[in-house]
Amino acid sequence: MNLHPQVSVVVVTRNRRNDLEEAIESLRQQTYDKIEIVVVDNGSGDGTVEMLKNGAPDVKLIELGRNTGAYHARNVGTCATHGEILFFLDDDATLEKNSLKLIVDRFSVEETLGVVICKLIQGGSGVPQAYLFSPLGGTLDVECYLGDMVAEGATAIRRDVFEDAGRWSAHYFRAHVGKDLSFRIIDGGHNITYLPSAIVYHKESPLDNFSRQQIEREKMFYMMRNQLWIVWKYLPLPRAGAESVVKIAYYFVNSIRSGSFFPYLRGLVAAFITMPRIFLKERKPVSKSTLSKIDYLTYGKLITHQDMLDTFVPLSYMAVLSARIIGLFSRAAGPKPQ
């Protein structure tokens, strides 16, 4: 990789003009200077497009005219970029000023590194968002390699790795799209690392509690359907069957506790209706070595150095299944969602 590569930042937005202005300004303040910014507008009606056309000459704007989903829009945005590194940023997030420089430096020291995931912090509170967990519980505070995880709105990906992996699976629309991509990236021989020194601040949703609950309950549809799609696409058949049972049971419990049973049921039905398409057209099981690597990175000890990654001992599937069941149902038995 070029020692001073261009970083192409892709931001998808819809009706968040003020937040988007802050996100763009945080990119302008970066200590790394070789950056291009592409904003893909998913049909905003709040003056976002006019603001960009009149006040952001350094931003390349793509207007889609309607809400096509974040992942289709991100794929479209990458087609208008030229950088060796792609950075995907949510429109309601801002970067610490040194984050892109740290990411570029991290890519430069590891040839097989494909993805760098930032530390995500809630607003200005300093509290990390709990979207990443260590195998033993708790948020991650050390740099380490990850298995089935790509955080979609705070992540840098090498362009060649992204293209070779087949980009975002846009037909998922939302939920677990990063997990789907991670299987393909690792199966392509590349690593994913979490870099907590590269920080992204993410705002809380401006929605009231009632609206937020409605959105989260509707999200259950995508979570149930997409998780089964991933299992059926990438896992060997015997394991896919066992994992399907575990996930169906887990999301059933979770849906009852969160009051989202009907979205769960719709997601389950949608998954089984589309099962023939997944098995006939999309199924591409990952290699045994890829699956062993993902298992260990997800359920084994934290791997923080390249030599540890080269010498890990694969976990048995029974150990993985036990860890998955314990982890899933301990979360399901936690505090009831509000």
* pLDDT tens digits for range 238-276: 999 999 998 999 899 889 988 899 999 999 999 999 999
**Total residues found in the chain within this entry:** 338
DSSP code of 147? S
Co-location of 24 and 101 in the same domain: yes
We report the CATH number of the domain holding residue 179 as: 3.90.550.10
> Which residues does 43 contact at the CB level (< 8 Å), separation at least 6?
14, 64, 65, 66, 67
Say whether pTM exceeds 0.75.
Answer: yes
* 192: pLDDT strictly greater than 50: yes
Q: Of 202, 226, 255, which residue is a domain's last? A: 202
Q: How many domains does the chain have?
A: 2
List, in sequence order, the alpha helices (H) in 79-176: 99-108, 159-165
DSSP code of 172? G
**How far is residue 98's CA from residue 226's CA, in Å, rounded to a whole number?**
35
SS3 149: coil
Co-location of 195 and 221 in the same domain: no
**235 part of a folded domain:** yes
**1 part of a folded domain:** no
Judge whether 99 and 120 are in contact, CB under 8 Å: no
Strands (E), 96-226: 113-122, 127-128, 144-145, 154-158, 191-202
DSSP code of 16? -
The parent domain of residue 219 ranges over 209-332
Judge whether 131 and 90 are in contact, CB under 8 Å: no
75-121: per-residue pLDDT in tens? 999 999 999 999 999 999 999 999 999 999 999 999 899 999 999 88
Co-location of 29 and 174 in the same domain: yes
Co-location of 196 and 248 in the same domain: no
* Six token digits for residue 284: 């591409």
